[in-house]
Structure 1
Amino acid sequence: MAMGTRLCIRLRQEFKDLVELVLLPGTAIFLPWPLCFRLYRYLSRYSWLYGEQTAQALAAAQSIIPVADPARWCAAYRLIQLVDHGDLYLSLFRSDRWMCKYLSFTGSDWPKNTPFLAITFHWGTGLWSLRHLRSQGITAAFLSVRLDKKIFAHRRVAYYYARLRLREVERVGSAQVIYKGGSVPRLLATLRQGKSVVALIDVPPSEGGNCLPVQLFQRQAWWPSGLVRLAVNEAIPAVAFTVSLNHATGQRYLHVTGPLPSQDQHQLVEALAGCFSEAISRDSPAWHFWWLVQGFFK
C-alpha cells in the first residue's frame, strides 16, 4: 500500500474518532441536558455514526438473541454510545447538583461503614456511579486493564480519549486506578484502607485463565473468577449495580442490587450473571461488548 494511501486511511480514522469521541459527545458541555439529549437522539438515526462498531454489535446480538427491529436496535445502540461518551465531558464540567437532577437512585443502598466490591458490567452509562459513590462519602478505586498504546496504533485521538476517561475515573473516585495483572495485593491493600473497589466482570476469560461456569442466554458460558474468588476468600461484601438510560427522556437510573451471597463462589457468580441477564433483557443495545460475546462460550 502506498504511503499516501496509508496516510489517507489514518487521517480518515483520526477524523472519525474526533467526531465520534470528542466533537459530537462534547456538545454536552455547551447545551442544557434536555436539548443535548434531543440532539443525541436525532444523531442516533444516522447509520454512519459508529457505523462499523454498530454493525458488529448487531451481528453479534442477532447470533444470540432475537432482534425484532434491527434499525431501531442500531439507533438505540448509537444513542447509548453518544450518551456514554458525552458523560465524560458532563462529569468534567457538571456539579453533583446536576447529577442529582438527572440521575435517579433505585434499589438497595450502598453498604455502610465497610469497604465493599461494587461489581458492574459494560452496559449502560456507568460513569456517574463513581460520582454518586463520592457524593455518599465513599472513596472507590476502579479496577481496569492497563492502556496499551499498541491497541491504539495510529489512533491518537482514541488513545488520548481513553487516557482522559481513566483520569476522570480517578478524580471522581478519589483513588488511583488499580490495573489488572498481579492486582490482588493492591486490591486487598485498598480495601484494608477503608476504600471500596468498583470492577467490571463481563469480560471473556483469557485463554488458560481461571473461570467459573454460568448460565448466559440460556447457554453454558464462562466468566473470569478472580473477583468472585477474592470476595469469597476474603469475606468482602459485594453488590451489583447498573446505570440504565431512559431512551425517551435521557434520565439515568443507578440501580444497586445487594448484598449478594458471598459465601460460595458459584452462588455469587450466578447472582451476578442473573443481574447481567436481567439488564440485557431490559435493554440489549445498551451492552457495549456484544462484539466479544462468543468468547464467553469457548
Structure 2
Amino acid sequence: MNRQRLRLEFRDLLELVLLPGLAAVLPWSICFRVFKWLAHIPSLYREPCERALEQATQRGWVGQEPGAAARWIWSRRLVTLVDHADFYLGRTRSDAWMRRHLEVEGHWCPPDQAALLCTFHWGAGMWGLRHARAQGLKPHALVAALNGDHFKGRSVLHWYARARTQAVTDALGQPAMDVSVSLRPAIKALRSNEQVLAAIDVPADQVVSSEVVSLAGMPARVPRGLLRLAVDQKIPVVLYITGLNLDTGRRHLRMRVWGVGDDVSTLAQAVFAELDGLIRQCPPAWHFWSEAPRFFIEASELAAAAAVEAQAATAIAPVEAEAAANA
C-alpha cells in the first residue's frame, strides 16, 4: 500500500469510523458537545465541506457579514458528523433512546396502506426510518447500487457504504431495493400494500425523465420517475423530514400526508417547495450543495430550452390553426 493510499484510508477511518463512532460509547449530551468542538477543525471533511461552501457562496446562500462563511462551514461539518454518527447510534441505541431524543410532529399513513414515503438529503435522516418501523410501517428503501469501481483504493469507505446500506435495511425491517433498472419491484411492493421510501432530491443527470422545479430560488432539474409512479398508481405521498437542532443536538421528525396527486408536474412543484423551505431554514443542512452544478440550471441552458419551446410552438401553430378552422 503506497503512502497516498495509506493517508486516504486513514482519513476515511478517522472521518467515517473513529470520530462519529464516539456516539456509540459516549452519552449523547456529552458526545454532541464534543462534535460541536470537532466541527471547528478545518481539516475535518475538508474537501466536501469546502466545495459545498464554494457552491453555496456562488449562489448567494452564504452571508457577507464577518464570520458568516466560518459559521456556515461549521454547521456543514456538524451536520455531516452527526449524520455519520447516526449509523453508530442506530446500532447501539434502543427505541427508548429515540423516544427521549426525537420530537415528533404529524403522523404516518396507516401501516397497511400503500404509500410513497419521500424525504430529502437534509439534516440527519436515520431516526425517521426507525420511527416508521416502530409505528408498524413496512417501507422498502430505494438505494443506489454500490459499484465496487467507485471505491477502488478506498476499502474503509467501501465497508462503510455497505454497512450503512445494511443499517437502512435493518432499521426498516424490510429489504432495500435497487430500482436503477426497473421500477417493477417498487410497484410490486405497493400492490402488496407496503410502502416505498426514497430521498428524492438526487441529480437528474443520470435519468431519462426529469422535472424543472424552483429550489433555493433557482431553477433546478430533478428526477420525476417516482412521482410519476405515485400518480399513475394512485398512491398517496407522505413527505417527512428528520432535522437536527444545531444548538442542543435534539432531533425532530415531521410527517405530512399529501394524499394522491393527479398531475406529476404539480406534485413535483409542491414537494420540492418543501425542500426549498428547508434550505431557507438551514442552508448548510442540505447535503448536496457540493453537487449543486448537477442540480441547478444555468441561464444559458434556460435560454436554449426556451428557444426550443418557442420553435416548437411556432411549428405547431399553423397545424392548430388549420385544425380549428376545420372544426
Q: Distance in 2 between matches of 1:25 and 1:212?
A: 36
TM-score, structure 1 normalization: 0.95
Of 85, 96, 108 in structure 2, the residue corresponding to residue 110 of structure 1 is: 108
> Which residue of the partner structure matches residue 9 of structure 1?
4
Q: Distance in 2 between matches of 1:228 and 1:65?
A: 30
Q: Say if 1:154 and 1:213 are closer, same or farther in 2 by CA, change over 3 A.
A: same
Structure 1 unaligned runs (5+)? 1-5
TM-score, structure 2 normalization: 0.87
Q: Kindly indicate whether the alpha-carbon contact (under 8 Å) linking 2:217 and 2:276 is maintained by their aligned counterparts in 1.
A: no
1:26 paired with 2:21, answer yes
Paired residue type of 1:23: L
Q: Kindly indicate whether the alpha-carbon contact (under 8 Å) linking 2:235 and 2:260 is maintained by their aligned counterparts in 1.
A: no
Offset at residue 180 of structure 1 (A): 2.6
> Which residue of the partner structure matches residue 253 of structure 1?
252
Q: Distance in 2 between matches of 1:167 and 1:24?
A: 20
Aligned to 1:178, the other structure's residue is in SS state coil
Structure 2 unaligned runs (5+)? 298-327
Paired residue type of 1:64: R
Q: Which is further off, 173-182 or 29-38?
A: 173-182
Aligned to 2:248, the other structure's residue is in SS state coil
Could you give the per-residue CA deviations for residues 202-241 of structure 1, whole angstroms, max 9, x where no partner exists? 1121256111121123232211110110000001110211
Q: Distance in 2 between matches of 1:67 and 1:73?
A: 7
Paired residue type of 2:97: W
Paired residue type of 2:250: Q
Offset at residue 293 of structure 1 (A): 1.3
Q: Distance in 1 between matches of 2:272 and 2:60?
A: 16
Q: Kindly indicate whether the alpha-carbon contact (under 8 Å) linking 1:126 and 1:243 is maintained by their aligned counterparts in 2.
A: yes
Q: Kindly indicate whether the alpha-carbon contact (under 8 Å) linking 2:128 and 2:242 is maintained by their aligned counterparts in 1.
A: yes
Offset at residue 135 of structure 1 (A): 0.6
**Superposition pairs of residues 1-298 of structure 1, within 5 angstroms:** 7-68=2-63, 69-106=68-105, 108-112=106-110, 113-207=112-206, 209-260=208-259, 262-298=261-297
Q: Distance in 2 between matches of 1:157 and 1:290?
A: 24
Q: Which is further off, 64-73 or 203-212?
A: 203-212
Offset at residue 260 of structure 1 (A): 5.0
Paired residue type of 1:43: L
Q: Kindly indicate whether the alpha-carbon contact (under 8 Å) linking 2:179 and 2:186 is maintained by their aligned counterparts in 1.
A: no
Could you give the per-residue CA deviations for residues 174-216 of structure 1, whole angstroms, max 9, x where no partner exists? 1111013223110011112222111011112125611112112
Percent identity among equivalent residues? Answer: 38
Q: Kindly indicate whether the alpha-carbon contact (under 8 Å) linking 2:115 and 2:235 is maintained by their aligned counterparts in 1.
A: yes
Q: Distance in 1 between matches of 2:182 and 2:245?
A: 35
Q: Distance in 2 between matches of 1:62 and 1:201?
A: 24
How many pairs does the alignment contain?
292
